[in-house]
Structure 1
């Protein structure tokens, strides 16, 4: 009995001491700390950011993303004791929650009803605090979004600050409120609490810059921003994939291709461990290593292996032409390139290999690396597959990618691990995706859109992805989709239109949605996919320098003719452009914006942004709800007789006149007016009179219409599906006999 008493006394003293530590650390009351300790120990809670919430000056509204039945207990134990918690009816009645409900005042409400009330406003006006628990959905429909309107209105009327709170890991608890198919359960998942600095609704609205969302939109964006910041914070991409394997299960199938089958997280990371050891022996820490591989499992494991080894993966665009490849290899500079003999032979890339060698690159063949694997290598990988080979730094460069060069020579863009993870999580906070989904990625992974949407995002969200080798297989891709039944597709307008032309009506019936980017989405393409496949196309906008997504439409926040709203955590500003009445030149800032460029005149030297802002070179307008519309590229404006004319707007006019064909508009020299506009089109029946008729209906001055129409069989495109305007302009100059005048 004495021994038992000593043991119990010691445990009680330790319990009390740990509770007192929480009082000192977080400023809790002793009562709160005593009830928080068991939760803290069971779930190893990372709670450092809760201090942001506790320190917020009243009046304040805490907006808690409600993911599990444990959330109210945690918040009752952690938020200041004078907070009024607005609980759902189930939490307000739950007997097990009674000890925590005694820590603060609570009231019940029915989430089906908007809960703006004078009582809550009075609480805030008396320098009070309230905590509201919002549905977890990332794409709230009208009914759910009313709650954000209500919260914004309460905060405005009470002149209160808003503090969003997100509990990462809560969705995986056994008593999660999320569908288990999208949130695999774990008995004791580790929890991390994220919070943001307190800001008033007016400050949230102005903070977005030119995006100027509504009050409810600003509140929603702030909640999404915290949601995107917490998972994988402070990790490299390799470490984040390791963490994802724990979240979703090491044996979960995660990546596959059409030749070698499917790999689970464990198999992928084991293979990456083996290859990382090889790369560590033949390259130096932080060295850029070229990757010249198709969409395949081999690419995925090579990417992770380089990051495990602490190397920088440099994407070699094998469709860019020999001159651009030589330039890229010299600019990075890349001394070692990982590729496949079988791929080079099958794709006929001997000229690209020679061009890379001319730039100073030496090739390491993946077949040789695979043949050299020993039983000991496999044993070490099986034991240490979760461990990296090289040092890991989240702020270090992770990728070097090259811009598409649609208007000239490609530039080298340096992206950090933070940039890549931030953008993936920003997209995840906008799109309702999860482990029940299956991505079919046809876009090349050497392009930022294909890499982020088709590989990085799925790896971090537990979404199985099929890496299809070429987007140009217009007949095979619909057939593959009919057989494999993907739910999400990433593509460009060019490819989507081509797939629809080749597909049978049921081929894409499994898709929940497809995300279109890299070029404008035509109304005819959108209509075809809706009518034939019952598939919603979500248009977005991005650039390599933003890793790459900047704005995105979603299933419930979707405006045709726009590219969606700015991603959470991003800011924008517009600078006036001569001759442009609506909109301005877009500048962006955010956690996903690149570290900087490398240029051909200073190879290997990172030229960082002079401040946090990046000039996109795009002309955009923004409506009152924050939806962006792209008006054109600054470089794609022509000056005709002193008037600024958007080539992109004329291109869309041509799409209106001949919707079934492809069009590109370029400017060429003109001795009399400085420049003149040329329409390059695949439409056999394209006539100036028809274009003038459509221009008159659209209110476009005849001065802005093309003076020449050049008919072609195909519009030049890059491997990513984007129009190659440089090649198109050369074609137009040649056809018009102006090559010597350019």
Structure 2
């Protein structure tokens, strides 16, 4: 070796040692840990949490750091940043790993069971790291291990903290099979933490669980750390770019019923090319109307709008001209993006005429795409990794319009962070992976269809199949037989319709269904379990929270509830006159909207005053935090001074007549204040039969409808929810024509 080469090596070693000592001093760790941390930050671009690590000051006792072991890198990351006296319990693979041999020489390590070393460490005041399986939904054995660890924490007055090493699952040392986590040579790592939890602190958790099991609190801690490992600091375009890097740019991830297939790269190239045209027809921050069905083009258009720094205003083409024109005015929309093929096939020419008649410009996407030049396409191909215009994660990304099921629709303004956060919250609770394929029939103008059915799968590597309408009850099962999805999103109404026409083999590929918007009937749950082997996970949400607020999971589920609050959210209940148990639900969290736009003040954002959103729902919460919806505050009738839930009446009627559809509404009554009228497809629907049934179950006579109206169909919105405005009109017209007070059996 020449003298020059030797000198260069000495200089490089000296620089490395100096950098390692500087790193150790900066992060207050030992010099050997500093070397390890420097390697991780250099090779894997490791990002650390802002501020101090939880438990770095051990003057208040030991801390048990739990983590879902994503790979063999996890313990190396934790060893490099935690106190040198911390005991690291090792997974069996990590005890044998040659990669971790150097770390084991300097770290305090032990086996991954609860032995005397763990007890001794806690008794001496030393902190401990404990690995658990990487599964998002823990097994019963894992839950029992959580409970064992909680007992030790209480015994030694130790606090708990959860870590998650984001990106480690994609490394060469991943704990997941390649089909679930594509391998990357040097993936970017991001360490996140949950914050400290003292199980002896009587303060109830933010999810309202007044008597939460210790094992559930540890489970929630791990979910929160996983959620925190996501980077919410950038816009959605860059979040999709990051997904392309993680899950692969070249394999198809998006399909539609027209036969089109898109990879992440083609999706982003197309979005950047189209976005350049949107820049020319609008101003930064302007809302562009989107009037498109579930197809690949709607996702390209949505991301093109995000790339251009504009706001996507998703329009409900099933709502009719009056509602569309109201939305255009509310959001001050000057241009609407449409597809000529869609308009012709759906017969929406009168809607287009109404839009143009209101002075709003129709932009035909086919014409826009044809006008893109070769040079513009080449530029988009070269620069596909960058948006056309930088945005802040707190900037508005989308405007969705409330369903109007109970009144005039409002514009709900959601930021890039709102949408990204809600997708990450759901991913932290429900186990999904690139092995899955999601069949989305819910329209993207609805928040469930947009976030759950489009943004969530594509941000987390799940293949997505778009179908244009949820109302094709006979066609959808046949398409599912060919597509073979593993996940389906839907509402009870839609799911029941598919089951009636499906063959037993049509949905045999499904493993889970996430249902929302309305209560899932026992019959629907039974049919999908027995015929198709698929579990239905019921959730709850609203457009204002982007939309999911709570969901059941395979490991944490309770029939009759909509599950538990998602990570990073908080709730509170406010008392309601006439309601003895439960209260009116308020929620807060990173997924809660920026605010409303109202028709009375077009284009003006009305922000939330204190970060809390009034859901308008009356709920009950059990000791473990499971939320049971008792009804909308607006959907309670006051009868002779008693508050009666119209939703509870519908559930009662549904149990008696499960094959029919029902809607309960209230009308004025001169003697009792209000009375209840049932609109139903059951023929004949006998009031005495309903009264007898309700008494067998101990229901009060007040819950028996005063009148019953037979209809061929219950009116529904495009989202699948019951259209109570239309139902109320049916009742009002019937009552008026029958001289209010008559009875119909």
TM-score by length of 1: 0.96
CA 1:257–1:580 in 2, change beyond 3 Å: closer, same or farther? same
- In structure 2, the residue matched to 1:580 is 579
- Cα distance, 1:23 vs. partner? 1.3
* Distance in 2 (alpha carbons) for counterparts of 1:144 and 1:163: 17
- Cα distance, 1:383 vs. partner? 0.8
CA 1:227–1:56 in 2, change beyond 3 Å: closer, same or farther? farther
DSSP 3-state at the match of 2:382: helix
* Distance in 1 (alpha carbons) for counterparts of 2:353 and 2:431: 44
- Cα distance, 1:153 vs. partner? 2.4
CA 1:300–1:67 in 2, change beyond 3 Å: closer, same or farther? same
- In structure 1, the residue matched to 2:699 is 700
- In structure 2, the residue matched to 1:198 is 196
Structure 1 stretch 443-452 or stretch 366-375: which is displaced more?
366-375
- Whether contact under 8 Å (2:55, 2:196) holds in the other structure is no
- Whether contact under 8 Å (2:194, 2:228) holds in the other structure is no
- Whether contact under 8 Å (1:730, 1:739) holds in the other structure is no
- Cα distance, 1:578 vs. partner? 1.5
* Distance in 2 (alpha carbons) for counterparts of 1:513 and 1:499: 15
DSSP 3-state at the match of 1:395: coil
- Cα distance, 1:375 vs. partner? 1.3
* Distance in 2 (alpha carbons) for counterparts of 1:199 and 1:94: 32
Deviations along 1:15-67, one digit per CA (max 9) or x if unpaired, are 11210221122111112112332232211211244842363433211112211
Deviations along 1:256-307, one digit per CA (max 9) or x if unpaired, are 1111411001111111011010001111011111100000111000000000
- In structure 1, the residue matched to 2:680 is 681
Deviations along 1:365-422, one digit per CA (max 9) or x if unpaired, are 1011111122112211111111111122111111110111111111110101111000
1:284-433 correspondence runs (5 A): 284-433=283-432
DSSP 3-state at the match of 1:294: coil
* Distance in 2 (alpha carbons) for counterparts of 1:102 and 1:54: 24
List gaps (5 residues or longer) in structure 2: none
Task: Find out whether 1:6 has 2:7 as its counterpart.
Answer: yes
- Cα distance, 1:740 vs. partner? 10
- In structure 2, the residue matched to 1:210 is 208
- Whether contact under 8 Å (1:541, 1:552) holds in the other structure is yes
* Distance in 2 (alpha carbons) for counterparts of 1:209 and 1:536: 24
Q: Which residue of 121, 128, 133 maps to 1:123?
A: 121
DSSP 3-state at the match of 2:471: coil
* Distance in 2 (alpha carbons) for counterparts of 1:260 and 1:102: 57
Task: Find out whether 1:146 has 2:125 as its counterpart.
Answer: no
Q: Which residue of 44, 67, 72 maps to 2:70?
A: 67
- In structure 2, the residue matched to 1:163 is 161
- Whether contact under 8 Å (1:50, 1:78) holds in the other structure is no
Q: Which residue of 74, 80, 83 maps to 1:80?
A: 83
Structure 1 stretch 149-158 or stretch 404-413: which is displaced more?
149-158
C-alpha RMSD of the superposition? 1.8
* Distance in 2 (alpha carbons) for counterparts of 1:739 and 1:343: 43
Deviations along 1:65-111, one digit per CA (max 9) or x if unpaired, are 2111122222222211011111123323444423212333221134x
Structure 1 stretch 522-531 or stretch 214-223: which is displaced more?
214-223
- Whether contact under 8 Å (1:313, 1:398) holds in the other structure is yes
Deviations along 1:223-246, one digit per CA (max 9) or x if unpaired, are 111211222331211110000000
1:616-695 correspondence runs (5 A): 616-695=615-694
List gaps (5 residues or longer) in structure 1: none
Deviations along 1:339-359, one digit per CA (max 9) or x if unpaired, are 112211211223332443455
CA 1:739–1:431 in 2, change beyond 3 Å: closer, same or farther? farther
- Whether contact under 8 Å (2:164, 2:226) holds in the other structure is yes
DSSP 3-state at the match of 1:619: strand
* Distance in 1 (alpha carbons) for counterparts of 2:614 and 2:373: 50
CA 1:234–1:738 in 2, change beyond 3 Å: closer, same or farther? farther
DSSP 3-state at the match of 1:665: strand
- Whether contact under 8 Å (2:537, 2:552) holds in the other structure is yes
DSSP 3-state at the match of 1:52: coil
- In structure 2, the residue matched to 1:448 is 447
Deviations along 1:583-626, one digit per CA (max 9) or x if unpaired, are 11111111111111111111111111110211101111111221
- Whether contact under 8 Å (2:621, 2:628) holds in the other structure is yes
DSSP 3-state at the match of 1:558: coil
Alignment: residue pair count: 737
DSSP 3-state at the match of 1:143: helix
CA 1:187–1:91 in 2, change beyond 3 Å: closer, same or farther? same
CA 1:357–1:740 in 2, change beyond 3 Å: closer, same or farther? farther
DSSP 3-state at the match of 2:573: strand
CA 1:152–1:56 in 2, change beyond 3 Å: closer, same or farther? farther
DSSP 3-state at the match of 1:210: coil
- Whether contact under 8 Å (1:340, 1:366) holds in the other structure is yes
- In structure 2, the residue matched to 1:34 is 35
* Distance in 2 (alpha carbons) for counterparts of 1:202 and 1:371: 65
- Whether contact under 8 Å (2:477, 2:501) holds in the other structure is yes
* Distance in 1 (alpha carbons) for counterparts of 2:283 and 2:738: 46
Task: Find out whether 1:107 has 2:105 as its counterpart.
Answer: no
DSSP 3-state at the match of 1:8: helix
- Cα distance, 1:338 vs. partner? 0.6
Task: Find out whether 1:541 has 2:540 as its counterpart.
Answer: yes
* Distance in 2 (alpha carbons) for counterparts of 1:740 and 1:459: 55
- In structure 1, the residue matched to 2:734 is 735
- In structure 2, the residue matched to 1:20 is 21
* Distance in 1 (alpha carbons) for counterparts of 2:400 and 2:186: 39
CA 1:393–1:442 in 2, change beyond 3 Å: closer, same or farther? same
- Cα distance, 1:205 vs. partner? 6.3
TM-score by length of 2: 0.96
DSSP 3-state at the match of 2:736: coil
- Whether contact under 8 Å (1:274, 1:378) holds in the other structure is yes
CA 1:21–1:327 in 2, change beyond 3 Å: closer, same or farther? same
Deviations along 1:665-717, one digit per CA (max 9) or x if unpaired, are 00011122121100100000211111111211221111221000000000000
* Distance in 1 (alpha carbons) for counterparts of 2:711 and 2:310: 44
CA 1:326–1:84 in 2, change beyond 3 Å: closer, same or farther? same
- Whether contact under 8 Å (1:76, 1:101) holds in the other structure is no
- Whether contact under 8 Å (2:434, 2:462) holds in the other structure is yes
Deviations along 1:632-655, one digit per CA (max 9) or x if unpaired, are 111000001111100011100100
- Cα distance, 1:445 vs. partner? 0.5
- Whether contact under 8 Å (1:619, 1:633) holds in the other structure is yes
CA 1:189–1:204 in 2, change beyond 3 Å: closer, same or farther? farther
* Distance in 2 (alpha carbons) for counterparts of 1:420 and 1:436: 23
